[in-house]
Amino acid sequence: MRKSSVTLGLGFVLLCLALGAAAAEPYTVSGAIRAAAGALRSRLSLEDEAAQVLLVGIDGEGFPSPAALSLLSRAPFGGVLLFGFNVPQKARDLGLFTAAVQEAAAKNGSGLPFIVAMDDEGGAVFRFHGDDVTRLPSPLAVARRGPEFVRFLGEAAGRELRALGVNLALAPVVEALSPENSAFLGTRSYGRNPAVVDADALAFIEALQSQGVAAVAKHFPGNAGADPHKGLAYLSVDRKTYERLLLPRFASALGNDSGRSGRGAAVVMLSHVIVPSIDPSDPASLSPRFVEGELKKGLGFRGVALTDDLYMKALTDRVPPERSAVEALDAGDDLLMISIQGAALRIRDAIVRAVRSGELERSRLDDAARRVIELKLAFGMDKTLDAALRERRLAAFPALVASDQEKLRAWSR
């Protein structure tokens, strides 16, 4: 197993103490959920546990392909990742797509539902095609209207996504715009003012999660100007700048500086960026210094650490996904994003081999799988295995949209 010392600078320690991060529990689960998750995990085979830590993109335009459903019925992956091409032209039909996914989950013998994740930031990063769903403006466009408007949008998104069977929204971006990241993020951020970004991002997170949809604070610790889809990016900020401008955005998103423990983001997405002042060798997503050190120990994060896609060129130009998956788990990540359906079993098997060879400790895989299962239970995802419940939620979708769109018009008057 790769070893890396986890060091916290004095300035960072003082910052965490000032924010209350050392004592805060921004995302917590009850003892009953923790015990239930542990029991469910203990019944998984090594192969199934390795599958449980993967979030997999699947084939199918408007409905899962036969190959996708066959795969999902044979292996209990942590979840599925939906792209724009997966989403039907009519938003309501997405409920039929996600129902088929959960029906496949009921066949794989694990007793566990799938996480169903999709981007839902608003503006350019919005996967629905028509106006039969409440469309979210870009974060930059809504920032000037204040956190209460953002909160309404988050609640509307959460209500509608939940009715359609989506239980994890890959949103919001909690980074403030800067000269380093503005070329890449553009309108996906709530702006340049850190106080505005913190208030709006936390409002969106709390609103989504109040409706039973888990939120993802992204992209820890930040982005540079280069697009990680195209290559590796470097964020050249010194330690003091990192602690002053980048870290507080995530402390806020986790609830650490608000005194409202338990209301912060349940999931944090790690970026594929190298920050030489913290770790000159590894991207944050593969760095124990970032995942275990800065995020889990430094910010006290108890939730699920999610990688960005392992098939981005920022990583594939360095190592194949089978290798980066093992490195990511070893670094402390809990859920690994895999955009290619055909790679899912190969990556699962690579994780199994790493555990059997001793390269990856079984206890680390156990911890990651337990965190994923806790997330599922904490947000009631297990209830989506109930076909009758899915049908009732989907039947309510048109009325939800009509109500939300009327409220949106009232906000605009």
Catalytic residues: 229, 308
* Cβ-proximal residues to 360 (8 Å cutoff; 6+ apart), any chain: 1, 326, 329, 330, 351, 354
Rounded-to-5 percentages of helix, strand, coil across the chain: 50, 10, 40
What the block records as the tokens of 161 is: 């996504």
* Cβ-proximal residues to 334 (8 Å cutoff; 6+ apart), any chain: 53, 304, 305, 306, 367, 368, 369, 371, 372
Pairing of strands 304-307, 79-82: unpaired
- Give the whole-angstrom CA distance, residue 8 versus residue 294: 7
Among candidate residues 137, 235, 118, 268, the one with its CA nearest the CA of residue 190: 137
* Cβ-proximal residues to 366 (8 Å cutoff; 6+ apart), any chain: 41, 49
Task: Calculate the CA 90 to chain-centre distance.
Answer: 25
* Cβ-proximal residues to 196 (8 Å cutoff; 6+ apart), any chain: 143, 190
* Size of the chain, expressed as the number of residues it contains: 413
Task: State the angle between helix axes of 321-331 and 344-357 in degrees (0 to 180), rounded to the nearest 10.
Answer: 50
